[in-house]
Structure 1
Amino acid sequence: MPRVLVIDDQPDARTMVSIVLRINRFEVVEASSGAAGLNEFEGSKFDLAIVDIFLQGTNGLDVIRNMRERIPGFPVVAISGMTALDFVVDAPELSSVVCLQKPFRPADLIAAIEAATASRSPGAGVVRVAGSAAS
């Protein structure tokens, strides 16, 4: 069972992501802050991380950089409800990060996870998965 670290300071968003993942047979570890997420990451093995870019007290990009310093090319889905995440393209250490804009449908989340795990090699480029709760 793939193990996923979900880092989001919004409890409702974190819970929604975790429920979708558990329904799709992922083992989920939740963290409510960047510091808590990095502690979990340092202490355990994960197959993927889902990281909110705008965390209170921490920049999600710094969290991702930290993860990538430890494990280059580590699969990450960056999520945000505040921006289109276009700036991620300008950060080479964030190559192959999959970007997903809130709100998103469960199918969008699963597609983003598939894209992130398919693009494990550094330099694969930033992938954007359109997220929208509207039908």
Structure 2
Amino acid sequence: MPRVLVVDDQADVRTMISIVLRIHQFEIVEAESAASALKLFEEASFDLAIVDIFLEGTNGSDLIAALRGRVPGLPVIAISGMTALDFLSETPEVSNVVCLQKPFRPPDLMRAIEAALGSLRQSAGAVVTAAR
């Protein structure tokens, strides 16, 4: 069962993602902040991270870079309700990230997960966008 770290400062978003992924047989660990996410990441291994780019008090792209600093090539889905995520392709530490715009539907999330897990086989440097 794949382990997924879900990092979002909005409890309702974490809950929705967790429900959808549990239905699809994923093991979910939730974090409400970058600090708690890093602590959880030190204590356990994960197959995928879903990270909100605009976490309260923290830049989610910095968190992604920190996670990838510990596990290079970690599949990541960056989510945001505020802006397009095209800028991520310009930052080497967060390259090859799947971007998903809030609000999204469960099928959008599952396509993003398939793209993120499949991106391990692709060359680094591309930002993959999960389209509706």
Matched residues, percent identical? 65
Specify the alignment match of 2:10 in structure 1: 10
Instruction: Calculate the TM-score normalised by the size of structure 2.
Output: 0.95
The letter of the residue matching 1:38 is L
How many Å apart are 1:130 and its aligned residue? 2.5
Task: Show the 5 A alignment for 1:1-135.
Answer: 1-120=1-120, 123-130=124-131
CA distance in 2, matches of 1:57, 1:104: 24
Instruction: Calculate the TM-score normalised by the size of structure 1.
Output: 0.93
Q: State the Cα RMSD in Å.
A: 1.1
Question: Does the 8 Å contact 1:51/1:78 carry over to 2?
Answer: yes
Secondary structure, aligned partner of 1:130: coil
Aligned residues: 131
Secondary structure, aligned partner of 1:45: coil
Question: Does the 8 Å contact 2:92/2:125 carry over to 1?
Answer: no
CA distance in 2, matches of 1:112, 1:52: 14
How many Å apart are 1:124 and its aligned residue? 4.7
Poorly superposed stretches of 4+, deviation over 2 Å: none
Question: Does the 8 Å contact 2:89/2:125 carry over to 1?
Answer: no
Question: Does the 8 Å contact 2:95/2:127 carry over to 1?
Answer: yes
CA distance in 2, matches of 1:124, 1:61: 15
CA distance in 1, matches of 2:32, 2:21: 17
